[in-house]
Amino acid sequence: MPPAEVIVRHGPTPREFWIGLGRAFAGALIFAVPVLMTMEAWALGFHLHPLRLALLLAVTLPMLVLLHKYGGFRQTVMLGDRIADAFVAILVATVAATAVLFIFGIVTVEMPLREVIGKIAVQVVPGSLGASLARAQLGPGSLEEEQIPEPGYAGELFLMVVGALFLSVNIAPTEEVVLIAYKMHPWQEIALVVATLALMHAFVYEFEFRGSHSPEPGAGFLSIFFRYAIVGYVLVMLVNLYILWTFGRTDGVGFSETLSAVVVLSFPGALGAAVARLIL
């Protein structure tokens, strides 16, 4: 009987660790800049319900753990490493947001602690996603060259949810979402849904971007369009409904107004979902 093969896994060298941490800070800053410099996001930290904000952060943690299976700011194999890296991503996003908001004068030592925590916590979600995606965007080469597991159908849908969450969290705090939803007529909303679905499919399968997917052998257009564009868009809408609820945009608002806001926010969210399938 041949001897069993022993696989030895080496941890990162100090240089690799600091490089990964530097990428995480860079990713957190780059991805969180739109929210860091948005006045409505600062106001959310003051009046956002603490339980809703806590729930958003609680949902973010397991999402980051799973995201580090496909991306992350360093290559990881073990589940324990992914959990640790998820906490590091949140810590990096917190430190980066605190530093920037303090330099901008948005957070001061005279402010009540609850307001300071709220303003910083709002920035943690996009910042931690940026830190977790740093290797995919700021690494020296394509993730395809590394030993990254190929996501199955459920993994593809998960990455679409991550992409939608990232772009939607950056835009949802702004008043423009509500304003656009108010100005649009029903036929314009339907046209926006159709255009969004077409773009989701074209981004991944037709425009031949880096990371574009080839249609599955034997799968027809309708099958691919339904399983990815339609199902993905429904997931994007659910994510955006949750984000709007978290930020208080659905409080005291009727069903039609809420649906209009979800459709508007799902336009950038769907683009983020499509791009997430390209970069990871």
Which one, of 265, 28, 233, lies nearest residue 168 by Cα? 265
pLDDT at residue 260, as a whole number: 95
- Other Cβ atoms closer than 10 A to 103: 9
Model pLDDT for residues 208-261, shown as the tens digit of each residue: 555 555 556 666 778 788 888 899 999 999 999 999 999 988 988 889 999 999
Contact 235, 274 (CB under 8 A): no
pLDDT at 255: 92
The answer to whether residues 241 and 211 touch, using CB atoms and an 8 Å cutoff, is no
Q: What pLDDT score was predicted for residue 143? A: 43
pLDDT tens track for 4-62: 444 444 556 677 677 778 888 888 888 888 888 988 888 887 788 889 989 999 999 98
Q: Which residues have CB under 8 Å from 206's CB, separation 6+?
A: none
pLDDT of the residue at 214: 59
pLDDT for 238: 96
The pLDDT tens digits of the residues spanning 124-156 come to: 988 998 888 776 555 554 444 455 566 677 888
Q: What pLDDT does 278 receive? A: 62
**Residue 122: both structure tokens together:** 């709002």
Model pLDDT for residues 65-79, shown as the tens digit of each residue: 888 777 655 565 577
What pLDDT score does 71 carry? 64
Report the pLDDT value the prediction gives residue 8, as an integer from 0 to 100: 47
Mean pLDDT of all residues in the chain?
82
Looking at residue 48, what DSSP letter applies? S
Cα 85 from Cα 11, distance rounded (Å): 13
**DSSP per residue, 215-250:** PPTT--HHHHIIIIIIHHHHHHHHHHHHHHHHTTTT
Give the span between the Cα atoms of 155 and 33, in whole angstroms.
Answer: 28
What value does the mean pLDDT take over residues 165-177?
A: 89
Domain extents for the chain?
Answer: 14-138, 153-279
The pLDDT assigned to 38 comes to 87
- State mean pLDDT over 159-179: 89
Distance CA 251, CA 178 (A): 13
Region 103-113: what's the mean pLDDT?
90
DSSP label of 146: S
pTM: 0.82
